[in-house]
Amino acid sequence: MAIASVNPATGETLRTFEPLGGPGVEERIARAHHAFLAHRRTSFADRAERMRRAADLLEAEQDAIARTMTAEMGKPLAQARAEAAKCATAMRFYADHTEGFLAPEPLADPSAVKASRAETRWQPLGVVLAVMPWNFPLWQVVRFAAPALMAGNTGLLKHASNVPQTALYLEDLFLRAGFAEGCFQTLLIGSKEVEAVLRDPRVAAATLTGSEPAGRAVAAVAGDEIKKTVLELGGSDPFVVMPSADLDAAVAAAVTGRTQNNGQSCIAAKRFIVHRDVYDAFAERFTARMRELRVGDPMDEKTEVGPLATEQGRADVEELVADAVEAGATVLCGGERPDGPGWFYPPTVLADITPEMRIAQEEVFGPVASLYRVGSAEEAVAVANSTSFGLGSAAWTQDPAEQELFTAELEAGAVFVNGMVASYPQLPFGGIRRSGYGRELAALGIREFCNAKTVWAG
C-alpha cells in the first residue's frame, strides 16, 4: 500500500510514495549501524557544529517546511512556523549543553569503594528506532533526534504514514548539515514492519510517541528482545481553576491549551475542573471565546483552528461527543461537523460530564473541552486523578497552600501552576501510568539512550 500525503483541509491526495521493501530496510539498518561505529567516536564539538548547522538550515527554510506540515496534517500555518523555530532552539540547546550533560561524573570519595578513581561515564547505545506521530511532525522527531545524535547514537525514523514529506525533509536536513550518511534516516514503512526492525540485533533501543495500542506493541517486542524503550503516550490533562485564579489569564490559557494544533496534542488541556464559586463565570467566558475562534483553511494567516488530520480522527471525536450527549452531557457550543470538504470539527464545550461517559476516561483528540464543577481543592484533585492517564496537568490558584497541594497530589509527569502545559528543551518531558514512561528533553532525555557505565580503578 502506498504512503500518501493527503491534505486534510480538502481531502486531496498531494503525493504518494512507495514503501521500502525488505532489501531497502536492510540496507538502511546496515548503514545506520555502520555510521554509529564512526559517529560515536566523533567529538562533542564536531557534533555540535553539525547540529548548529542543521538549526541554521531549518530557520532559513522555516516557511517552506511549515507549509509542508500544514499541507500534510492541517495545523494553522503560524503554529507550523513556531514549531520549526522551536526545533531550531532545541537543536542549539543540545549543541550547547550535551558535553556538560554527558561529562564523566567522578565519585567524590573513591576510597569509599576501595578505589583510587571511580566515576560514571555516559556512552551511546547504538541505533535507536523512533516511531513518531503526525501531530507535531517536526518537533516530536527533533526532540528525539537532537539529543540522540549529540550523544553519539544514530537514528532510524518510522514516521506517521500521513506525513512522509516532513519525514523525508528531516533525513535530508541532517545530511545537508554534515552528519554522515546513515546517521539519521527515514524508513517509509507501514506499522506492520516496525516489529522486524525492532527485533534486528543492530537496533539497540526504541522511542515511541503515539497511542496506547502502538506503545503496547512496541514495548512488548522490545521487552521480548530486552531493549530499552521510552514511551510518550496519550493524555487527558486536567486544568484546575480555583477561586483565587486570575480568571482572564486562565480563560485565555484554557482556550489556547484546548485548541492549539487543532486540539490534537497529548498535553492539551482536556478536562476543565472548576471550583463552583467561579464555575459560571469561567464557563461563560470560556464558551464565548471558543465559539468565536476562526475555523478554516490552515494556510490562511487568520485561521485559528484548522481541520483534524485524518478522516478517522474526526470520526473518533464525533463518536466520543455523541456518547457523552446521549448520556446527558450538555453542549454549550459546537458539537456538529460543518458541511463542506475537509475534516473540520468546531471548537466544542461540553458540560455535565459524568464518570460513565467515555469522554471522562478516554482521550479526545480534537478541539473538545469537558467542564467539571467541584467544591474544593481536594475534590479537584480527586477528579483530576480519576483517569488512568498521567501526562501533564495545570492548576490555577494564587493560594500558596493550594499550589503546594496540587504540586504534590496531581498524578502526572508535569504540573504547571498558573500556566499552560508546554514542552521545553530545558525541562524533562514524559508521563506516568498509561501516559508512558521514560523522559525526553533536558539532561534526563539525552541520558535515556546512553549506557551509564561505572568505571572503577584501584
Active site residues: 232, 266
DSSP one-letter code for 367:
S
Sequential DSSP letters for 118-175: EEEEEEE-SEEEEE--SSSTTHHHHHHHHHHHHHT-EEEEE--TT-HHHHHHHHHHHH
Q: What is the spatial distance between Cα 27 and Cα 189, in angstroms, rounded to a whole number?
A: 14
CA-atom Rg of the chain in angstroms = 23
Among the residues of 191-328, which ranges form H helices?
194-199, 212-225, 247-259, 276-292, 311-326
Output the nine-digit C-alpha cell for 68: 509542508
Q: What is the spatial distance between Cα 298 and Cα 309, in angstroms, rounded to a whole number?
A: 11
Provide the total of helices (H) and of strands (E) in the chain, helices listed first.
14, 18
What are the distances in angstroms from CA 160 to CA 144, 168, 188, 210, 361? 15, 12, 9, 9, 25
CA angle 257/291/350 to nearest 5° reads: 70
**What residues have CB less than 8 Å from 423, skipping those under 6 apart?**
139, 143, 267, 429, 440, 441
Q: Which residue has the cell 496537568?
A: 393
Three-state secondary structure call for residue 310: coil
Quote the distance between the C-alpha of residue 137 and its chain's center.
Answer: 9
Q: What spatial distance separates the first Cα and last Cα of the chain, rounded to whole Å?
A: 60
Three-state secondary structure call for residue 374: strand
Q: Are strands 117-124 and 154-158 parallel, antiparallel or unpaired?
A: unpaired
DSSP one-letter code for 438:
S
Output the nine-digit C-alpha cell for 182: 546513515
E strand map for 299-361: 330-333, 348-351
What are the distances in angstroms from CA 364 to CA 269, 320, 373? 10, 7, 19
Cβ atoms of 441 and 424 closer than 8 Å: yes
